[in-house]
Amino acid sequence: MSADSLRCWVPGSFAMPAAEAGPLRHRSVAVKDLFAVRGHVSSFGHPRWRETHAPATETAPVVERLIGAGASVRGMAKLDQLAYSLTGSMGEGEQPINPVNPGRFTGGSSSGSASAVAGGEADLGLGTDTAGSIRVPAAACGLFGYRPTHGLVDSRGVLPLAPSFDVVGLMARDAELLLIAARVLAEVAAPPVGEVRVLDDAPVEPFVARAVEGVAAALGGRVVRGLGGLVSQEVAELFSRLQGREVWAAHGDWVSANEGFLAEDVRRRLARAKAFGEGTGQADESAWAEYRELFATVLRPGSIAVMPVLADLPPLRTAAEEELVAFRRQALLFNAPAGLAGAPVVVVPVRAGGSVTGVGLMGRPGSDGTLLEAARALSAGDQLVVV
């Protein structure tokens, strides 16, 4: 597909040259249009944001780091409005195309970056992930995706959504390249693996079972059934409330003045965020602290959890609004745990039942290198059929 047919770039997108040498030499990056670039006004997924904000005076350090490592910027990529959606259907203008499944959305909010990488327009996608905004489009578009440990990668110069959960991450078609780029952005540790955990729901999806076997074979460790309550609808709802309060704290004033410009789905979610923000949230803060303790107990040092990223395929481009809402709710089920725990996740693309999806490898905070190595091992072996 051509760049025009992918519809992945924001209006007025531009390229940036690379340094002459480095580990990412001859590689290109699609940059989600919420990273500051000096002289550029980020869209944050909506032309109204661009109309009401001034150009950046500095470039985000993470963009400079990639350029300094030899990567060029291919362009500034579209995203869902305010980065507050998981569908890839709520952004500016025509929505990006999913190259591996053109009849369905890309997932979001890093929709343009995922489309560009999956379509061969860029080697790397630079994005952000709060509730799954790298993991969901990676799974939907057949890509490797990396959500780092919270705070590991420099987030200066990046428009926030909910700072306690926001991270800067990457997507790529190749696990080796993902590992190289991750090492450019931060020092990633690789503690040894002692056990590989899988959801105790029966039956486990075949592609998840193969991933569990593959990780255990490649890195060692025994297989253990059960995630001790880390994944549930109640956990997802707790995340939504905590995230919503932070979203409103960060952007409530702007939203109040401009909500009429936003998509209905985003507007409804922001209304809930406002309602959450008007409460004290003390019970949720306590529940969050208890969840982090539970996470540390269940995922002991050396543990990796393996689970789906999506409950189903991404929505059809003809899907009704209620279907988009349902997809987002289902996606949160598997993606909320890492956000609450500040934990890293690496997505490995797989084929399952004739379709493309993704399996998520989740570890304790600080185990990023182990997960990236596991993804590389899976892609090099024959345990999974990766895209």
**Residues with catalytic function:** 32, 109, 133
User: Using an 8 Å Cβ cutoff, are 28 and 122 in contact?
Assistant: yes
Contact 356, 100 (CB under 8 A): yes
Instruction: Report cis status (omega within 30 of 0) of the bond before 206.
Output: no
Report which of 30, 26, 34, 68 is spatially closest to residue 53, judged by C-alpha positions: 34
The answer to whether 80 touches 88, Cβ cutoff 8 Å, is: yes
Adjacent-strand bridge partners of 127: 169
Q: Cα–Cα distance between 1 and 118 in angstroms, integer?
A: 10
Cβ 357 vs Cβ 313: under 8 Å: yes
For 292, list phi and psi in degrees, rounded to 5.
-65, -35
Structure tokens given for 314: 């991404």
Q: How far is CA 39 from the centre of its chain?
A: 26
For the chain, give me the number of helices (H) and strands (E)?
Answer: 12, 10
Closest CA to 18 of 65, 61, 59, 70: 70
Q: Cα(220)–Cα(213) distance, rounded to whole angstroms? A: 10
DSSP-derived secondary structure for 347-364: EEEEEETTEEEEEEEEES
Residue 254, SS3? helix
Find, among 25, 37, 122, the residue nearest to 67 by Cα: 25
Calpha distance 85→35 (Å, rounded): 18
